[in-house]
Amino acid sequence: MMPCYEQETPGRLGPLTRLKALQLVIGLPFLIVLLFLYLMPMGIHSPCIQEKESLGPKPTLFGHRGAPMLGPENTMMSFEKAVEHGAHGLEFDIHLSTDSVPFLMHDHDLRRTTDIREVVPSASRNRSDSFSWDFLSTLNAGKWFLKDKPFYKMEPLSEADHEKARSQKIPKLRHLLDLARKEKKKVIFDLTRPPSKHPLRDSYVSVVVSVILASKMDPHLIFWLPAFDRDYVRYLAPGFQHVGRLQSVEKLTEQNISMINVDYKELFYGGLR
Q: CATH number for the domain including 95?
A: 3.20.20.190
CA-wise closest residue to 71 among 87, 85, 82, 60:
82
Phi, psi of 54 (to 5 degrees): -100, 0
Does 176 fall in a domain? yes
Does 118 fall in a domain? yes
Confidence check: pLDDT of 19 > 80: no
Does 68 fall in a domain? yes
Which domain, by its residues, includes 124?
Answer: 62-239
Say if CB 102 and CB 200 are below 8 A apart: no
Mean pLDDT of 39-65: 82
Q: Total domain count for the chain?
A: 1
What count of Cα atoms within 13 Å lies in the side-chain half-sphere of residue 219? 14
Does 201 fall in a domain? yes
**How long, in residues, is the chain?**
273
Confidence check: pLDDT of 258 > 70: yes
What count of Cα atoms within 13 Å lies in the side-chain half-sphere of residue 198? 24
Does 105 fall in a domain? yes
Confidence check: pLDDT of 52 > 70: yes
pLDDT tier at 59, thresholds 50, 70, 90: confident
Lowest mean pLDDT among 5-9, 166-170, 177-181, 238-242: 5-9
Lowest mean pLDDT among 67-76, 130-139, 243-252: 243-252
The chain-wide mean pLDDT, for the chain, equals 90
CA-wise closest residue to 103 among 134, 72, 125:
134
Phi, psi of 253 (to 5 degrees): -65, -40
Does 110 fall in a domain? yes
Does 257 fall in a domain? no
> For residue 83, what are the contacts with CB-CB under 8 A and spacing of at least 6?
63, 90, 179, 183, 185
Burial annotation 98-108 (CB, 10 A radius, 16+ → b, else e): beebbbbbbbe
Distance of CA 230 to CAs 198, 235, 260, Å?
21, 9, 14
Say if CB 139 and CB 116 are below 8 A apart: yes
> For residue 151, what are the contacts with CB-CB under 8 A and spacing of at least 6?
68, 69
**pLDDT of res. 185:** 97
Mean pLDDT of 225-238: 94
Does 40 fall in a domain? no
Condensed to tens digits (0 to 9), the pLDDT of residues 109-134 reads: 999 999 999 999 999 999 999 999 99
